[in-house]
Amino acid sequence: MLNSKRLVLAHFWLGFVSFGGALLLGAWQMWVRSPLHPWLQNPELYYRSVTAHGSAMAYVFPTLIAMGFGYAVTELALKKPLIGVRWAWAGFILVALGTVTAMVPVAMGLASVLYTFYPPMIGNAFYYIGIVLVVVGSWIWVALMSINLAAWKREHRGVPVPLAMFASVAGAYLWGWTAVGAAIEILFQILPVALGFKTTIDAGLARVFFSWSLHAIVYFWLMPAYIAYYTILPRAIGGRLYSDSMARISFILFLVVSMPIGIHHLFADPQVGSGFKFMHSVFTALVAVPTLLTVFTICASVEIAARLRGGRGSFGWIKALPWDNPLMLALAFSFVMLGFGGAGGIINMSYQLDSTIHNTQWITGHFHLIFGGAIVIMYFAIAYDLWPHLTGRAMTQFKLMRQQLWLWFIGMIVLTFPWHFAGILGMPRRMAFFDYTDPEIAEQAVSVIISTIGGAILVVSAVMFFVVLIRAHRAPRVVLEEYRFSTAVHESKTIPVALNSFGLWLALMIGLTLFNYGYPVASLLLRSDTSVPAIPIGGPQR
């Protein structure tokens, strides 16, 4: 049962629209700093665009997808109407309002500070206020997910929580806690300066707080994709989930260990001690465990589906998979990109290896491959799977969907592989223009041109995605059978309370965060000599 169709559709549509706009900006950025375009006369335009692209892609788009998907999962998995629909709409309106509030100053060039804020640069206060509104709107979602789960548990004592709901709530809790770091940074450090109450800011401490949010936010983006791996894919390809417990353990591990690891973004920062950098490196490595568990479980589930369809042999079963199913295609592409992106990520998280690629284009290539590739392609898959149930209309353009997914995969590989390579050649990130005529960097020109082509392919793919969605709204109405999530091979009637509740895991998450961040934050807070003058951005130009 899906009662709040308009609510979910509103979240998805606003998310995808902001994604479409930001994607165009991204392609433009790739083009203007490639050798195909003469130097931008005004580099500020570039940073303005990067700020809008990053803010929309990192804060608005995935948050709305996670919220919309979370509401859908709540109704579909718990089989009861969402509690607090009005609050949900209020959260949506806050996110929409925050997006506009943030984007207006960015568009006016008053807040070209990039989405990672980078104090001591200080932009227009409304940019930060807008981001806060987006986060507050999403916190309403976190609360609603928690309330709906609690209400269901009260009515179903001793019954295992449906996996999709369990995972969605894990994602919500992860976001609720990870957003606290950036919220502290904005509310207590940046806004007092942006509003004119202070003229100095502790940029080092601000970076520590932001790192608190910056890495775990990636796992928040990842959550809908992982939920789809476990609870949609096996059903969509006619198989069963290999292990329900393994899925729960993966989500729990994400919840616990994806938080206290953000300082691996600060390996080159002098204000954090090397011991903490090493500890964060260790815990980052640990995140590979739930990822590998997931890859194993999903591959096993896929094999089950293939063998049910008559697949034979050690690898021969792969041929028996339903490759004409867009979701199967999306999963395969997502795993390939996750594999390459994850391998690159192991370099980023290693305390020593990171120094070879720190602050180079490798990093931008890496997070585009993981987020834009492995994760966003699963957002497409989620939309394709849910759309008929949201619109009540048939979705039959499988060929167009397959082409769209192929193009997204190819575009992302063409975009990010040369991007990584440019980083290995030493090309720095966050630069508005490069003089490719200079022999020292001339060899980077080819990589950047190839990446630009990849960006263009992605734009074409996104246009096709919107065509599919819009046509689906105009398709003939159909009566669908009830939506269901995948079922496990062995469905147990009872599970350990540890795999059915969050208390212990939230305690570990918060405890580890305090252990890994407590001293770096406290030591910077207590020192009096760590603030620097704020640099206003977008003030009078002359």
Partner 1 sequence: MSDERLFSLRNRWFTVTVGGTLALAAFSAAVGFIWLPSAQHDQPFQGIWNAICSAAGVPQQWLRASSATPVPLVQTSAVAMTPQLLADSGSTSIGRGATLSLRCTMCHGVRGISDANSPNLAGQYASVIYKQLADFQSGARRNAVMSPMVTNLSDQDMRDLSAYYAYLPKPEALRASASSSMPVPDIVSHGAPMRNIASCASCHGGIDHKAGSPWLEGMPAAYTRGQLQAFANGTRHNDISEQMRNVARNMTPDEIDAAATYYAGAQP
Read off φ and ψ for residue 446, nearest 5 degrees.
-60, -45
Q: Are residues 335 and 267 in contact, defined by beta-carbon separation less than 8 angstroms?
A: no
366 annotated active-site:
yes
b/e sequence 160-191, b meaning 16+ C-beta within 10 Å: bbbbbbbbbbbbbbbbbbbbbbbbbbbeebbb
Q: Find where tokens 């570990």 sit.
A: 508
Give strand pairing partners of 536. 122
Q: Which of 207, 248, 280, 366 is catalytic?
A: 366
Q: Which of 33, 48, 53, 215 is catalytic?
A: 215
Measured from the CB atom, the residue of 282 and 400 that comes closer to partner 1 is 282
Q: How far is the CB of 270 from partner 1 (least distance, A)?
A: 8
368 annotated active-site:
yes
Q: How far is the CB of 193 from partner 1 (least distance, A)?
A: 10
Q: Which of 309, 358, 402, 429 is catalytic?
A: 429
Q: How far is the CB of 39 from partner 1 (least distance, A)?
A: 6
Alpha carbons 16 and 411: distance in angstroms, whole number:
18
Q: Which of 59, 166, 219, 436 is catalytic?
A: 219
Paired tokens of 223: 């959550």
Paired tokens of 414: 């063409």
Alpha carbons 313 and 292: distance in angstroms, whole number:
24
Q: Which of 368, 389, 393, 420 is catalytic?
A: 368
Nearest to 265 by CA among 305, 301, 216, 226: 216
Q: How far is the CB of 385 from partner 1 (least distance, A)?
A: 32
Cβ-defined contacts of 151-155 (< 8 Å, 24+): 151/83, 152/78, 152/80
Q: From the centroid of its chain, how far is CA 305?
A: 28
Report how many helices (DSSP H) and strands (DSSP E) the chain contains, helices first. 19, 4
Paired tokens of 256: 């616990």
Q: Which of 166, 367, 379, 485 is catalytic?
A: 367
Measured from the CB atom, the residue of 215 and 368 that comes closer to partner 1 is 215
Measured from the CB atom, the residue of 217 and 534 that comes closer to partner 1 is 534
215 annotated active-site:
yes
Measured from the CB atom, the residue of 282 and 295 that comes closer to partner 1 is 282
Q: How many CA atoms lie within 13 A of 529 on its CB side?
A: 0
Paired tokens of 112: 């070209």
Measured from the CB atom, the residue of 121 and 376 that comes closer to partner 1 is 121
Paired tokens of 295: 């890859």
Measured from the CB atom, the residue of 278 and 323 that comes closer to partner 1 is 278
Round the CA-based radius of gyration of the chain to a whole number and report it: 23
Paired tokens of 290: 């739930």
Alpha carbons 28 and 455: distance in angstroms, whole number:
9
Q: Are residues 485 and 162 in contact, defined by beta-carbon separation less than 8 angstroms?
A: yes
473 annotated active-site:
no
367 annotated active-site:
yes
Which residues of the shown chain bind partner 1 in the complex (CB under 8 A)? 39, 41-44, 157-158, 199, 256, 271-279, 282-283, 286, 433-435, 438, 440, 494-501, 503-504, 508, 511-512, 515-516, 519-520, 523, 533-536, 539-542
Measured from the CB atom, the residue of 339 and 428 that comes closer to partner 1 is 428
Alpha carbons 154 and 152: distance in angstroms, whole number:
5
Q: How would you classify residue 118: left for phi > 0, otherwise alpha for psi between -120 and 50, otherwise beta?
A: left
Measured from the CB atom, the residue of 446 and 512 that comes closer to partner 1 is 512
Q: How would you classify residue 531: left for phi > 0, otherwise alpha for psi between -120 and 50, otherwise beta?
A: beta
Supply the residues annotated as catalytic.
Answer: 215, 219, 366-368, 429-430
